[in-house]
Structures are given as C-alpha cells and as structure tokens.
C-alpha cells in the first residue's frame, strides 16, 4: 500500500526519478526545470559523440535515441516539452510554478508547445544554415551532416525572417507582463532555454525589448543563474 506521506510529499516521489542528460543539448531545458523545482533525482549523463543514446539499454527508455528523457516511477517520458508539462503538473502546482487545471494551464501548454515546435524549428533551420564557427551552443540533437545547400544564403535569410516573426509573437505575448503567465513559471524556464540558444547564434534580440527584458529577469532567477555560472 502507498503511504499517505508518499502521496503528499513531492520530494519523496522525486526520489524515484531518473534524468538522462547530455551536455550542450535540449536536456539543458529539463535541467533548468528540475533545478527550479528543487527535485533530487538520479542523473545519468550520456556521451552523444560515443553513441550512448543509440545503445540498446537507452533505446528502451527513449526509442528516438535522443535526450532528454526521464523515468518516473517506472514510466519513461521523453520530449522536453512533455517533460516540462508533466513535471509542472506533478510538482509545479504546489510550488506555485505551474498553473492548476484551468484556462491558464492551457496558456502554459500553448507557449511550451509553440516554443518546441514553431520557435525551435525556425531556430534549427538558422543553425543548420550557419558555418560551424557561428553556430554557438547547438542545444540540439541533430546529428545529420549538413549539406552545402542547407548553408545557402537563401536558406539563412528565410530562417532569419521566420525567426524574427516568432520573436515578434513572443514580444507581443510579453507586452505588459514581466513573465509569460504574469508571474514566473516553468513556462518561462522552458522558453528561455530556447531563446538563449537563439541569442548564442548572434541573433540580434535588441529590437524585441519585451523579450530582452524578460530574458534578463529569467537569468536572474537563482536556479538559472547557478546553472549558467556552473
């Protein structure tokens, strides 16, 4: 029988959580979410260059052969957006870092999904079009060789245009707000990870004043600042 203490104490539940990570990957988003929540977990670092993510044992956790992934109480969860939403629902509501079931929960899911699908897709196209010395922190799981056609000026300009449109959407969403849901939440934790990667590719964020102000406020969070310093 599951004890009442187990049910009521999120930190006890987190003890059965395993986090699969790798440096310079989208796992950094999950790392920030776990840090904000103060969750203790077993962490397993994979060496992507050595093919750790393609080994049979890990493919049982994530058949995509990518990071991040978590295993909580025996259930594997992959895709950084799904992980953020799951951790938010399980641990974030009581911590005041994720909305309870309500229309605001839908707003949270909207921004997290948009960041992973629309924003990250445009950012990844820009990343692929850049020469290696301008790619910054890849924060990506892409392991395909990039062809010369993908690095063409046309592809780069198209990616920049689409990315600027995404940043205008984000800027509009932040107008009149300090954070995406007014108060800081795991939505900001998640989205700032992708926007930070975009900034590392020498994308000029200054025209988007609401975004730059918000990003600085995110970086001032103790948990985020500690990760960035370490």
CATH of domain 103-229: 1.20.1050.10
Q: Stretch 8-28: mean pLDDT, rounded? A: 76
Average predicted confidence (pLDDT) for the chain:
88
**pLDDT over 80 (residue 47):** yes
Task: Return the structure tokens found at 208.
Answer: 């988007």
Confidence of residue 148 (pLDDT cuts 50, 70, 90): low
Alpha helices (H) in the chain, listed in sequence order: 4-8, 10-14, 27-37, 56-59, 80-87, 103-114, 120-129, 153-174, 186-200, 209-219, 222-229
Query: Contact 36/97 with Cβ under 8 angstroms?
Result: yes
pLDDT at 225: 96
Which range among 88-92, 128-132, 140-144, 183-187 shows the weakest confidence by mean pLDDT? 140-144
The sheet with strand 69-72 has its strands ordered as 42-45, 17-21, 69-72, 75-78
Query: In the chain, pLDDT over 70 holds for what percent of residues?
Result: 84
pLDDT over 80 (residue 101): yes
pLDDT given at position 152 = 77
Q: How confident is the model at residue 155 (pLDDT cuts 50, 70, 90)?
A: confident
Q: Is 1 helix (H, G, I), strand (E, B) or coil?
A: coil
Per-residue exposure over 91-105, b if at least 16 CB sit within 10 Å of its own CB, e if not: bbeeeebbbeeeeeb
Q: Boundaries of CATH 1.20.1050.10 in the chain? A: 103-229
Structure tokens at 46: 């994979």
For the chain, percent helix, then strand, then coil, each to nearest 5? 60, 10, 35
Is residue 215 within 8 Å of 193, Cβ to Cβ?
A: no
| Section 21-49 average pLDDT | 96
CA dist 135 and 129 (Å) reads 9
- Give the global pTM: 0.86
Check residue 131 and give its pLDDT: 67
pLDDT for res 96: 98
Residue 138, pLDDT above cutoff 90: no
The architecture of the domain spanning 4-92 is 3-Layer(aba) Sandwich (3.40)
């Amino acid at each position: 029988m599951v004890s009442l203490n187990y049910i009521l104490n999120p930190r006890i539940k987190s003890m059965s959580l395993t986090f699969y990570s790798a440096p310079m990957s989208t796992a950094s988003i999950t790392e920030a979410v776990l840090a904000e929540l103060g969750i203790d977990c077993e962490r397993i670092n994979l060496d992507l260059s050595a093919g750790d993510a393609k080994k049979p044992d890990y493919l049982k956790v994530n058949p995509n052969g990518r990071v991040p992934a978590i295993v909580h109480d025996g259930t594997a969860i992959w895709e950084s957006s799904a992980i953020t939403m799951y951790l938010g629902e399980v641990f974030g509501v009581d911590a005041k870092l994720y909305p309870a079931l309500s229309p605001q929960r839908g707003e949270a899911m909207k921004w997290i999904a948009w960041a992973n699908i629309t924003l990250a897709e445009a950012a990844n196209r820009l990343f692929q079009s850049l020469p290696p010395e301008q790619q910054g922190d890849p924060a990506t799981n892409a392991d395909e060789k990039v062809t010369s056609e993908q690095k063409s000026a046309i592809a780069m300009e198209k990616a920049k245009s689409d990315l600027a449109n995404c940043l205008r959407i984000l800027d509009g969403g932040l107008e009149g707000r300090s954070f995406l849901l007014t108060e800081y939440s795991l939505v900001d934790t998640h989205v700032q990870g992708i926007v930070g990667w975009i900034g590392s590719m020498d994308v000029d964020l200054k025209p988007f004043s609401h975004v730059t102000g918000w990003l600085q406020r995110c970086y001032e969070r103790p948990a985020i600042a500690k990760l960035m310093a370490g």
